Structure 1
Amino acid sequence: MPQKKATLIGLVAILLWSAIVGLIKSVSEGFGPIAGAALIYSCSAILLLFSVGFPNLKKFPRLYVIIGSVLFVCYELCLSLSLGFTHSGRQAIEVGMVNYLWPSMTIVLAVIVNRQKVSPLIIPGVILAVAGICRVLGGDQGFSISEMTHNIMENPLSYGLAFSGAIIWAIYCVVTKKIANGNNGITLFFILTALTLWVKYFISPQPAFDAHFQTWVSLALAAMAMGFGYAAWNLGILHGNVTVLAAASYFIPIISSILAAFILSSHLTLSFWQGTAMVSLGSLVCWWSTRTAVTKSVSSKISE
């Protein structure tokens, strides 16, 4: 596949993933948090079975199957339920933004675990990303601790799940890269996530469905965004320009907020957009700090 075409497909994946926050919240409003998430992952798993196929588990390292499955399922549960249990569209967008701390966390964890070379730029990058979340949660008050505390305590479950998800996904990205040996168990992981959600649905009382035509449309779109998003990303990473895709992925918080605001008909203030920009810029600076360090290392070896 030509590199330009593969890169374009990878960029489409970024656009699809950016719509997930608004779509998950929209589906949960009609089917409920648990059932909505279960339906999304079930449909996505079916799409992945046809587009990616079911992996040959005999070729997979056992450690990757076990650890990868647990981390992936835990993350997807945190992501979907954190959004599903929110009280409003605006809160869902804020919770989604907390989850987008994972790029910065991934880079920091990779530096610690892999002893990856990094420039001092990583410190202001992390500070900027965290400050951006504080700006988002502070509302119109800016960096107000009391306002942030009030927002979080209004729904500690959703914000807690989103933050936990960011940590889990950072661990998943770093750990699975070391133990996967190039294998991709995404179809298996989606099936396990769907099964886990259905078990939760059937063993606990759930609200009745209140699904309308728009909810079914959101379900179809969410399933395609999830399933085709991962499939498209794999193609992009394998055959496209990885540098372009990596840089573009750090703008997901901004694109996601725009799409979620449209899907959920939510009005977002200037302070929110300022915080969102800070999160994206902070993550981009963290990523650039690793590239800068690698470039300097290569340059010094050449000069020797």
Structure 2
Amino acid sequence: MTRKSATFIGFLAVLLWALLALFTVASNPVPALQLNAVSFAIGGVIGLFWIAKNNAWHELRGVSPLVYAFGTVGIFGYHFLYFSSLRLAPPAEAGLINYLWPLLIVLFSGLLPGERLRPLHILGAVLALVGALLVVARGTSFTGEAALGYLLALGAAFTWASYSVISRRIGHVTTASVTVFCLLAAALSFVTHLAFEQTAWPDSMSGWGAIIALGLGPAGGAFYLWDMGMKKGDIQLLGTASYAAPLLSTLALILAGMTEPRLTLLLSAGLIMLGAGLAAYQSRQTG
């Protein structure tokens, strides 16, 4: 797999994550740990089919328990924090804080061996961040009972950025290992759900559809795409290009009738695309 194709595959995960907030809101009132358990179970089944099709069972034996623990905690922890933040705080505002993770990936990646953070990477990340802020900034309030939700969203941002960058350090580990991450995270989510939450299921077909879609896409299938992108692709370009997610997420909410269009949307889109373009140009110049 070439660096360019791996980067493209990683960006497909970003496109799926554009639907994460929409499906999470639509799955209400399912609590966070229960939502984790169902989504990860679906994601794990996807991996089992992929492994069976490619007869890749032997690849799992060479993965250390430490890597399995790392992947499980990363996937479980991020989504628990993210789902919880959307339940406690207004989704748009919580999403704003969560989408600091692409900027953190770009900055953290400069610490990796063989990687170097260059001026246009930083400028592109800053411009894209400003664009992401404009998407959801109107009417934002970071006080009151939603404060815990905002704190959890910040924790989610650091968790996913750290998980993504460390994944690059273990680039030799097969992507098939993500299947085990999902299944173990599903089991952990199920146990903790029984201990700390009251079970609640959607009361509509759209709610059930949202849960299934989460497992097939942004909270399941996307893990495999992102893993390939982080291990084989351009990590800095992916980190900056990920700023398309808040814009696309907002568009998805508009099309679903969950939010109204804003005049700042075009300006935000321009800044996000400019930021990603600068990072792409820098990567081409130095790749």
TM-score range (shorter-chain normalised) is: 0.7 to 0.9
Distance 1:236 1:111 in 2: 17
**Match for residue 192 of structure 1?**
184
Distance 1:115 1:5 in 2: 20
**Match for residue 222 of structure 1?**
214
Contact kept, 8 Å, 1:10 with 1:233, in 2: the verdict is: yes
Q: CA RMSD in A?
A: 3.8
Q: Compared with structure 1, are the counterparts of its residues 161 and 110 closer, same or farther at alpha carbon in structure 2 (3 Å cutoff)?
A: same
Alignment partner of 1:25 is 2:25: yes
More helix by share: 1
SS in 2 for 1:270: coil
Deviations 1:52-84 (A, max 9, x none): 456744301444223333233222222232223
Distance 1:7 1:68 in 2: 20
Contact kept, 8 Å, 2:244 with 2:272, in 1: the verdict is: no
Alignment partner of 1:170 is 2:161: yes
Distance 1:235 1:263 in 2: 30
Deviations 1:167-186 (A, max 9, x none): 12221122122134242221
List gaps (5 residues or longer) in structure 2: none
Alignment partner of 1:81 is 2:84: yes
**Match for residue 130 of structure 2?**
131
**Match for residue 266 of structure 1?**
259
Contact kept, 8 Å, 1:254 with 1:277, in 2: the verdict is: no
Letter aligned with residue 78 of structure 1:
L
Distance 1:205 1:230 in 2: 25
Superposed, which structure 2 residues align to 1:1-304 within 5 Å?
13-27=13-27, 29-52=28-51, 56-86=59-89, 91-114=90-113, 116-136=115-135, 138-139=137-138, 148=140, 150-151=141-142, 153-184=144-175, 185-206=177-198, 208-225=200-217, 226-231=219-224, 246=238, 249-263=242-256, 265-271=258-264, 274-275=267-268, 278=271, 281-282=274-275, 285-286=278-279, 288-292=281-285, 294=286
Distance 1:135 1:156 in 2: 20
**Match for residue 298 of structure 1?**
none
Q: Compared with structure 1, are the counterparts of its residues 17 and 210 closer, same or farther at alpha carbon in structure 2 (3 Å cutoff)?
A: closer
Contact kept, 8 Å, 1:129 with 1:278, in 2: the verdict is: yes
Q: Compared with structure 1, are the counterparts of its residues 282 and 224 closer, same or farther at alpha carbon in structure 2 (3 Å cutoff)?
A: same
SS in 1 for 2:110: helix
List gaps (5 residues or longer) in structure 1: 141-147, 296-304
Q: How many equivalent residue pairs?
A: 279
Normalization by structure 1: what TM-score?
0.73
Letter aligned with residue 156 of structure 2:
G
Give 1:260 shift: 2.9
Contact kept, 8 Å, 2:126 with 2:275, in 1: the verdict is: yes
Distance 1:180 1:7 in 2: 14
SS in 1 for 2:258: coil
Letter aligned with residue 259 of structure 1:
A
Normalization by structure 2: what TM-score?
0.77
Give 1:8 shift: 8.2
Deviations 1:157-176 (A, max 9, x none): 22222222221222112212
Letter aligned with residue 256 of structure 1:
S
Q: Please say which of residues 201-210 and 157-166 is displaced more in the overlay.
A: 201-210
Distance 2:138 2:8 in 1: 36
